[in-house]
């Protein structure tokens, strides 16, 4: 097994104080580390400079999935606290969810979230549907006395901030932990590479002749499943749903045919694009599911460039970035980012790979 396939080769040292706990007041003021696969070293910019770092004719592809207030806090009938993280909608009011404490919540139990809003435990999901290090996913039903569980979820649900953000969610996270173009609810985590865009920045990209199209991939728990196998090629994730609009498929296929760059905003966008590519090299429109794990040695068929945040050590997302630009080059860039005190992870700074 080569270093590129060994999990131990994807570790790096990150001081805890570099993990961003708060978003910056101005989205586009975050820093941007530029990695050019054809040149040595890195360049340091701000995200507001992105239009000047791309070329007219480049095609940006973004993920317009919207984060749900999917974390519910309540009390069991016996009085103990309970936490429910909704991870996947099966029917309008029926969800797959992670429960804490999972061992004390059984089928038929009811958790009170707020007056008139409860969650009933229905049972277990399929054994294969497991979340990262959290045990089996359970089926739950949302019950609202006014007959509108979705509205109750919006009122009483909490933003599911990642566990490395060591504070409770606040009201401003509901807006700040969304991209400005988020439209379709369904994710339990933000496609964080898109958090840096502002309306003004999108206008400047358009004025420079950089087109943008959208797709939807709803981020589920599988994205964050820890890599627990030493040979990273054996890692598996649970499927996530995506939709490629016809206009996006046509624009991407045309850009590839004309030799223009396709720049994915985020690993979620990358996985959807690569999963929807046909053997002939065009992009297939419509709905699909992906359990694609991209590791070094993968031959990218669609994506030429990537806007991404910094990722956890030994994670499948770090593997994807290393597959695109090379493990040694990316880990050297991460060491530079640590040395220059970049901010890491969801509310942190960004990287552009070209």
Counting residues of the chain whose pLDDT is more than 90, the rounded percentage is 85
Which residues are CB-neighbours of 213 under 8 A, at least 6 positions away? 59, 60, 61, 62, 245, 247, 248, 251, 252
Q: What pLDDT is attached to residue 130?
A: 47
Pairing of strands 240-244, 184-187: unpaired
Q: pTM (2 decimals)? A: 0.93
Which residues are CB-neighbours of 269 under 8 A, at least 6 positions away? 61, 62, 63, 191, 193, 215, 217
Over residues 153-163, the pLDDT tens digits come to: 999 999 999 99
Where b means 16+ CB within 10 Å and e means fewer, 282-314 reads bbebeebebebbbbbeeebebbbbbbbbbbbeb
CATH number of 71-156: 2.40.10.240
Q: Which of 150, 79, 88, 153 is nearest to 109 (CA)?
A: 79
Over residues 276-315, the pLDDT tens digits come to: 999 988 999 999 999 999 999 999 999 999 999 999 999 9
Tokens standing for residue 215: 């797709």
Q: What pLDDT is attached to residue 134?
A: 52
- Terminal CA-CA length for the chain: 28
Q: Is the pLDDT of residue 124 over 80?
A: no
| Collapsed DSSP state (helix, strand, coil) of residue 147 | coil
- Return the DSSP state at 284: P
Question: What CATH architecture does domain 3-67+174-353 belong to?
Answer: 3-Layer(aba) Sandwich (3.40)
Give residue limits of the domains in the chain: 3-67+174-353, 71-156
Q: Is the peptide bond before 348 cis (omega within 30 degrees of 0)?
A: no
Query: For all residues of the chain together, what is the average pLDDT?
Result: 93
């Amino acid at each position: 097994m080569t270093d590129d396939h060994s999990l131990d080769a994807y570790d790096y040292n990150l001081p805890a104080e570099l993990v961003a706990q708060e978003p910056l007041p101005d989205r586009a003021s975050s820093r941007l580390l530029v990695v050019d696969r054809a040149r040595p070293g890195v360049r340091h910019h701000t995200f507001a400079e992105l239009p000047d770092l791309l070329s007219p004719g480049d095609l940006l592809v973004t993920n317009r999935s919207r984060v749900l207030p999917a974390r519910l806090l309540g009390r069991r009938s016996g009085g103990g606290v309970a936490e429910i993280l909704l991870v996947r909608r099966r029917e309008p009011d029926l969800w797959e969810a992670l429960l804490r404490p999972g061992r004390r919540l059984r089928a038929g139990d009811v958790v009170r979230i707020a007056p008139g809003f409860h969650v009933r435990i229905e049972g277990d999901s399929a054994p294969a549907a497991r979340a990262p290090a959290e045990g089996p996913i359970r089926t739950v039903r949302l019950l609202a006395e006014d007959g509108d569980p979705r509205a109750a979820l919006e009122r009483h649900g909490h933003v599911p901030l990642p566990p490395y953000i060591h504070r409770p969610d606040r009201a401003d996270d509901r807006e700040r932990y969304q991209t400005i173009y988020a439209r379709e609810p369904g994710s339990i985590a933000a496609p964080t590479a898109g958090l840096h865009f502002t309306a003004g920045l999108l206008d400047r990209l358009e004025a420079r002749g950089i087109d943008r199209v959208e797709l939807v991939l709803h981020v589920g728990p599988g994205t964050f499943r820890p890599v627990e196998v030493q040979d990273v090629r054996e890692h598996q994730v649970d499927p996530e749903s995506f939709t490629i609009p016809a206009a996006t498929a046509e624009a991407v296929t045309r850009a590839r045919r004309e030799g223009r760059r396709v720049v994915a905003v985020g690993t979620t966008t990358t996985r959807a694009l690569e999963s929807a590519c046909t053997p002939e090299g065009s992009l297939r429109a419509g709905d699909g599911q992906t359990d694609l794990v991209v590791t070094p040695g993968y031959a990218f068929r669609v994506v030429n460039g990537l806007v991404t945040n910094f990722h956890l050590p030994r994670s499948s997302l770090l593997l994807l970035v290393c597959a695109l630009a090379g493990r040694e080059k990316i880990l050297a860039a991460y060491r530079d980012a640590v040395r220059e005190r970049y901010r890491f992870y969801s509310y942190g700074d960004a990287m552009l790979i070209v």
